[in-house]
Structure 1
Amino acid sequence: MKLVVFDLDTALCQTSAMDGLAMASAIKDVAKCRIEPETVRELHDFASIWYRATQRFPSARDLVDLQERFGFHLRRQFLIRPSVIPANYGLIEQINLLQHQKNTIVGLVSATSAAVMLLKAHAIGLVCQTLPLATGEDADSLPGILLTMQARVRRSFGFNFESCDLIAGLAWRGAATAAQMNHYLPVDYLASGSVQIRDGQFTRSSKLFSFADY
């Protein structure tokens, strides 16, 4: 069995100007201070974003409120700018194909909230309601999110996987090591591990995968 996990924010729907604008508005709502939208380049660490804006460490309540307001303002951004949502459609296609592969479970993680994850997934046309999910609401660190995903898959699907792959940006590399997962950058995964359909059959284009899975 194989577990293949994709990070929504660094692999599928990359952090964009809309995220920065939404975060700036959320910081203003919750912390009553300002952060420049263009400084928000990644969403993997809400605590660091908070600290940069306020110069103080956030409480658990602060982070919960920040997540909630970020989701509210991001929804507004998607309504205002529906045509500029960035998406890696090559990887989205891979997810759709992998879901039909024998002995493989596809998971989705995000350092944001479940509400934001579902909002982004819907905006880029990714059907994820049947996928195991883990977010920043489940753990307060990236390794914790990955370990939550692994535990959730073991409980829900009842198997121990032989390997775990994580497709995510560089910010997740240390977390992947801590969770004993193989880390691949999105561009590398597409280049050397893409799934294709030929004559109605699934084929793999690299040694990242085994034909014995079929």
Structure 2
Amino acid sequence: MDGVFQGSLLDLDTEIGPGPLGATVRRTPLAHGAWIDVRRGWMGGADALFERLADTVPWHAERRKMYDRVVDVPRLLKFYDEGEPLPDPALDAAMAALNEHYGPELGEPFRTVGLCFYRDGRDSVAWHGDRIGRGGTEDTMVAIVSVGTPRSLLLRPAGGGGPTIRHDLGHGDLIVMGGSCQRTWEHAIPKTSRPTGPRISIQYRPRGVR
């Protein structure tokens, strides 16, 4: 672990697992039929969960072709397909809670879990939407739980040219991107030169959305 993790004083001696949703969720409508929900501190015991995931998930690095060269993906990754055992019971509990709350609106359950490990401020993800598969043509939802040190998640209309929305997410915060968000908006975790500790992003998606 390259960054130095500093836990939240509000998370001491808290049982690991998701809290309530319902009226605790704040929804913000965006342009073009998109919206985001934010629930601060949803995952109780988030700091302990971060440490467990950091130590037990079989993280791996990837390399991808970019233009005329192959580069390192600036974060560590692990993807759990539907039916594959998850690395911690808190992730199963979170999926069950998300499906109970969002299932009627989404019309289907969340089925897969992707994990990203941002080790320090040099790790990032560029502007993108989850448009591989059905996310490129249909309304859907992507739910992200952040544990570890807060990092800025930015959102902007696809292609730029509009306002940029910023949410600093960590220590168990939940954000859900819904409606047309994956098609009509983009999101990113930018690099930062400020000293920052590590963060793990836990992404829940329906079948056929990447």
- Name the TM-score, length of structure 1 as normaliser: 0.25
TM-score by length of 2: 0.25
Tell me which protein shows more helix as a share of its residues. Answer: 1
Select the structure that is richer in strand: 2
Return the index of the structure with the highest Cα Rg. 1
